[in-house]
Structure 1
């Protein structure tokens, strides 16, 4: 039986499993598998989820920490999850007012874990989709520079394209430990991989082009519509990705 068919059946398994177990997205299992490997929720108290709609990662984070708070930020409203340790903010995380609200919700502390499964609508043009995804990943990195504890974790989705190696090098400039992983719940034919990073470097320097990611004013309605992140569940098939081995910290 063809291996591709078997993998597609397994991927469909995660879709059905999510529906049966009450998760809002198959992507929930990607986060579960990443946490099984790297244990980033083990001692976490404050978790920030960027582009959190529809809420699948919020659910997993909520179940994985004791006490504390999981805070999701998205440009669109997220339906209530009815979980005591989950709150959501509708807004642009680049807005300084939203960042202040985040710190207030975390009782003046920074996040132990910053998550980003953000993705925009894919256009089917690989070079364009790659650049758009890297833009979101860089935006998440600029947020982590401001809102993540020095010994915290960052987990961010990227596509394996022309810019992703440069982005990984940027992550290595910012973090002491950087790992690349592709969860089993990811479609094998998709180009997505996850960068898992720990411990911000004390001598880190955020690349100059990323410093402009923080806006001084809230986005306009037109900008909100243009930049609304989506869950990223329907990625086109760009062929087999390069294989990465997982490494534990």
Structure 2
């Protein structure tokens, strides 16, 4: 994962424009203005207008926008209004299942627009390779809550291990960035949020969705290298440099190329 890619994506409802600036100031790496789940049907047009005003303003930083799904009556208008706006860093596409959905978004897109397809259905999961290979897909988002409902799965732990691993594998094979894990439903239990994020990181995810500013710090802690990690990496690279090609051990363990690459990744990320 590139160090420049977000670790945290904070959702803010598109029908709450008074929260947009607060969301940008909350400390998340990226903000997603949400037109989908957070907005009731009657409020969709007003929410779209509020988001359009925000991304059209030079005073507002670029934001991602989660549009409504392609199976809804709002999809075409969302795409027409937003995908060509330079203030839109990218489109978050819910219920992503086909390349055609992505191409429909890109039909009116500006040249640097990226796509984050959300895999949250069985059909979407079955189409992972297609979605990962589609144009301008930066990374895959795992919509864990809707995915559990679609498949009748009860649980976010070991019940989803297979699916998380497959999403990471498909992303790596396609040469796109490490995927983004789904939300934690708890807001106040920061230990649980950090544990959720660390689990995703162990599986190879590169970031996590957030539904409240209180979750951001816990996610960032999970995706940060500790002082002990950095010190270990420095010892490894120092030992390799002084060994002049000879076999070397650090902390009682042999140092081979995978260990060296990990040490370099830690220090690059730090």
Relative to the length of structure 2, the TM-score reads 0.33
Larger Rg: 2
Of Structure 1 and Structure 2, the greater strand share is in 1
Relative to the length of structure 1, the TM-score reads 0.34
Of Structure 1 and Structure 2, the greater helix share is in 2
